[in-house]
């Protein structure tokens, strides 16, 4: 039985901050109050914030996509997580083309279990709406995979037509699962791409022009319509929402009793599409793309009004070589693998650009980075710093500034898309189930010490 006492910290809860001591035993928060000094280890956290370990709702480690496999495997990717105060990631099982999702689940566990240094849970991508695929939904839920991602984009790869979307949502909902949706009108994206390439418009900024805002807004509207025809039991979770209009569409359904929610990424709250015109514009290519200033501030506004439920990084990392498809030149925008890093910078971006600029409160930061995520995906022991919960904590010195560079981050690549930014909110120490796993820039835990966390059907 090991114990840790953290003295005098400012404990950040979703409904306020309290300056108290925290006693941790066997990985769980046991007591909060004015406590003595009786523990195996005593830490002084005077002036520091104790933030619930972030649960990153959206990562792609070792993800085979667009003819590449992402550069962060479960070891490097979860090291990056710990470096940013993320103690649990929710990664996407990605079955290969004709693979049964249950077999893909076993494969994902075999890849992740020996490598993870943070805890992890899993969603599963469904690439088909056929009976064989849908029959795997219930067994996966029994294994703790309760959320399933469906794509409205990437024809011949991941895209499902409306009929398959309907069938899949119905099956998922029958068992109380969550449907995660990639909402972009893939057919129109392909048309736009063809037109741009015909005009020889191949630079990275054309990625934005090939996927304008309306492509997401149409898909959000369509999926909400389809899901509403199934019923109010559907739990619809729109991943990487990049437009405020899509948030508004889901809010209107919510007001009518539907369980529709939006996730966004801190990256969309940081950059607008003009970043594609910068020297390394290709590194920023992800889908949906970065948007206009107007969209960016619209998303912050929706977050301030509690209309955006969850923050996920969509951590999907490619090396510079992969982004350039192993050539000297930047390839046409449609050949650059889609995805950007993000798990290690969730907390500092939201703290610096949100809390310190009074766009959101600390309570809101805590709610959208841990509590709501744990509730959405039924991660019962996570998401709070009250007695009984796992002691997953990011200890942050709120005054300390960091200049971001790839050297200080822990991903398996040699660049950062936030290079040179001055940010506060990186953790000094990260604690996972009562153990120090990161301190002063160093990862302290070994591969395989993270745990698989089962999702449970809830709310």
C-beta closer to Zn ion: residue 63 or 426: 63
Kindly state whether residue 184 participates in binding Zn ion, applying the rule CB under 5 A. no
3-state secondary structure of 299: helix
d(CA 74, CA 69): 12
The residues near 195 (Cβ < 8 Å, ≥ 6 apart) are none
Kindly state whether residue 211 participates in binding Zn ion, applying the rule CB under 5 A. no
Considering only 308-316, 363-371, 409-417, 425-433, which stretch makes contact with Zn ion by CB under 5 A? Answer: 308-316
CB of 115 to Zn ion, least distance (A): 20
C-beta closer to ligand URP: residue 153 or 431: 153
C-beta closer to ligand URP: residue 7 or 324: 324
CB of 413 to ligand URP, least distance (A): 15
Q: Which 143-162 positions form the footprint of Zn ion (CB under 5 A)?
A: none
Site string for ligand URP, 179-198 (x = CB under 6 A): ---x----------------
Give the side-chain half-sphere CA count within 13 A for 210.
31
DSSP states along 78-146: HHHHHHTTEEEEEEEE---TT--HHHHHHHHHHHHTTT-SSEEEEEEE----SHHHHTTHHHHHHTT--
Out of 11, 286, 365, 368, the residue judged to bind ligand URP by CB under 6 A: 286
Residue 286 contact, options Zn ion, ligand URP, none, Cβ 5-8 Å cut-off depending on partner type: ligand URP
Kindly state whether residue 416 participates in binding ligand URP, applying the rule CB under 6 A. no
Kindly state whether residue 314 participates in binding Zn ion, applying the rule CB under 5 A. yes
d(CA 373, CA 56): 8
Interface with ligand URP: number of residues (CB under 6 A): 9
CA angle 225, 227, 233 (to 5 degrees): 135
Kindly state whether residue 316 participates in binding ligand URP, applying the rule CB under 6 A. yes
Kindly state whether residue 338 participates in binding ligand URP, applying the rule CB under 6 A. yes
Kindly state whether residue 323 participates in binding ligand URP, applying the rule CB under 6 A. no
Q: Which 126-155 positions form the footprint of ligand URP (CB under 6 A)?
A: none
CB of 239 to Zn ion, least distance (A): 5
CB of 274 to Zn ion, least distance (A): 23
d(CA 197, CA 332): 8
3-state secondary structure of 147: strand
Out of 115, 182, 323, 454, the residue judged to bind Zn ion by CB under 5 A: 182
Out of 314, 344, 375, 392, the residue judged to bind ligand URP by CB under 6 A: 314
Out of 10, 60, 127, 251, the residue judged to bind ligand URP by CB under 6 A: 60
Please give the DSSP secondary-structure letter assigned to residue 340.
Answer: B
CB of 186 to ligand URP, least distance (A): 11
CB of 29 to ligand URP, least distance (A): 33
C-beta closer to Zn ion: residue 56 or 375: 56
8 Å CB contact between 383 and 55: yes
For residue 393, count CB atoms less than 10 angstroms from its CB and return exposed for 0-12, middle for 13-18, buried for 19 or more.
buried
Strand 401-403, strand 422-424: pairing? antiparallel
8 Å CB contact between 387 and 13: no
C-beta closer to ligand URP: residue 79 or 182: 182
Out of 30, 235, 240, 302, the residue judged to bind ligand URP by CB under 6 A: 240
Type and span of the H or E element at 192:
helix 186-198
C-beta closer to ligand URP: residue 144 or 339: 339
Residue 339 contact, options ligand URP, Zn ion, none, Cβ 5-8 Å cut-off depending on partner type: ligand URP
Nearest Cα to Cα of residue 181 among 101, 226, 240? 240
CB of 182 to ligand URP, least distance (A): 5
8 Å CB contact between 65 and 151: no
d(CA 356, CA 459): 32
Is the C-alpha dihedral spanning 103, 104, 105, 106 positive or negative? positive
C-beta closer to ligand URP: residue 183 or 395: 183
- State the CB neighbour count (10 A cutoff) for residue 84: 27
Kindly state whether residue 213 participates in binding Zn ion, applying the rule CB under 5 A. no
Q: Which residues bind Zn ion (CB under 5 A)?
A: 182, 314
Q: Which residues bind ligand URP (CB under 6 A)?
A: 60, 182, 240, 286-287, 314, 316, 338-339
């Amino acid at each position: 039985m090991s114990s840790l006492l953290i003295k005098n910290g400012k404990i950040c809860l979703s409904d306020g901050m309290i300056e108290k001591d925290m006693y941790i035993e066997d990985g769980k928060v046991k007591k909060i109050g004015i406590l003595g000094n009786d523990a195996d280890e005593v830490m002084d956290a005077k002036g520091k914030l104790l933030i619930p370990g972030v649960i990153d709702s959206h990562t792609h480690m070792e993800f085979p996509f667009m003819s590449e496999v992402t550069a962060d495997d479960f070891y490097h990717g979860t090291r990056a997580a710990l470096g940013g105060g993320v103690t649990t990631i929710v990664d996407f099982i990605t079955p290969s083309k004709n693979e049964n999702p249950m077999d893909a689940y076993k494969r994902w566990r075999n890849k992740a279990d020996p490598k993870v240094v943070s805890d992890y849970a899993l969603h599963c991508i469904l690439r088909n709406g056929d009976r064989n695929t849908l029959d795997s939904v219930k067994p996966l839920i029994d294994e703790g995979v309760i959320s399933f991602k469906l794509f409205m984009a990437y024809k011949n790869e991941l895209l499902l037509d409306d009929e398959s979307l309907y069938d899949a949502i119905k099956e998922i909902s029958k068992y109380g699962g969550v449907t995660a949706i990639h909402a972009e009108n893939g057919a129109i994206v392909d048309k736009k791409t063809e037109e741009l390439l015909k005009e020889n418009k191949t630079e990275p900024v054309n990625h934005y022009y090939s996927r304008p805002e309306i492509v997401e807004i149409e898909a959000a509207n369509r999926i909400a319509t389809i899901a509403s025809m199934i019923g109010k039991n559907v739990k619809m979770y729109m991943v990487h929402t990049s437009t405020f209009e899509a948030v508004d569409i889901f809010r209107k359904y919510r007001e009518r009793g539907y369980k529709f929610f939006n996730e966004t990424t801190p990256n969309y709250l940081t950059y607008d599409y003009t970043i594609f015109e910068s020297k390394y514009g290709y590194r920023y290519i992800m889908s949906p793309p970065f948007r206009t200033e107007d969209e960016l501030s619209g998303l912050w506004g929706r977050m301030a009004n509690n209309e955006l439920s969850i923050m996920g990084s969509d951590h999907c990392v490619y090396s510079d070589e992969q982004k350039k498809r192993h050539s000297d030149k930047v390839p046409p925008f449609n050949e650059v693998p889609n995805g950007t890093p993000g798990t290690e910078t969730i907390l500092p971006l939201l703290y610096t650009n949100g809390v310190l600029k009074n766009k959101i409160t600390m309570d809101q930061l805590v709610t959208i980075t841990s509590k709501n995520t744990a509730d959405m995906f039924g991660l019962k022991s996570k998401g709070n710093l009250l007695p009984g919960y796992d002691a997953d904590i990011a200890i942050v010195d709120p005054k300390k500034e960091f200049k971001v560079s790839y050297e200080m981050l822990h991903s398996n690549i040699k660049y950062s898309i936030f290079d040179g930014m001055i940010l506060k909110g990186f953790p000094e120490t990260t604690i996972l189930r009562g153990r120090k796993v990161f301190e002063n820039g160093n990862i302290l835990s070994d591969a395989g010490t993270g745990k698989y966390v089962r999702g449970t059907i809830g709310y």
